[in-house]
Amino acid sequence: GQSLEQPSEVTAVEGAIVQINCTYQTSGFYGLSWYQQHDGGAPTFLSYNGLDGLEETGRFSSFLSRSDSYGYLLLQELQMKDSASYFCAVQHAGKSTFGDGTTLTVKP
């Protein structure tokens, strides 16, 4: 089966940098995606890593190490609007398996 682990909660202050880690166990791994979900809303796609290394998209970056079955999402210059849940998801066999999510709280 597939399993992913990520911290349940992270708190940071406005303007800071925060890293959300994700470790996974899976077969047929294609890539690791990250999604953001505001309370009561729909998840939106943030980033994808199919190969080892860092992908940068504006204030958000994502990293993957396939040999370590590990990835992280890095959020820089945190803003209050970044308070949300963040999910890592493993792509495999034509579908995705999601982690339980990390709730990020950004404080003034």
Interface residue list for another protein (CB under 8 A): 30-31, 33, 35, 41-45, 48, 50, 87, 89, 91, 94-101
Q: Which of residues 12 and 43 has its CB atom nearest to another protein in the complex?
A: 43
- Give the amino acid at 65: S
Report the distance separating Cα 9 and Cα 56, nearest Å: 23
Report the distance separating Cα 87 and Cα 73, nearest Å: 10
Report the distance separating Cα 96 and Cα 84, nearest Å: 20
Q: Which of residues 19 and 92 has its CB atom nearest to another protein in the complex?
A: 92
Q: Which CA distances in Å does 98 have to 12, 49, 54, 59, 101?
A: 24, 15, 20, 23, 8
Quote the least distance from Cβ 87 to another protein, whole Å.
Answer: 6
Q: Which of residues 74 and 92 has its CB atom nearest to another protein in the complex?
A: 92
Q: Which of residues 14 and 100 has its CB atom nearest to another protein in the complex?
A: 100
Quote the least distance from Cβ 15 to another protein, whole Å.
Answer: 28
Quote the least distance from Cβ 69 to another protein, whole Å.
Answer: 18
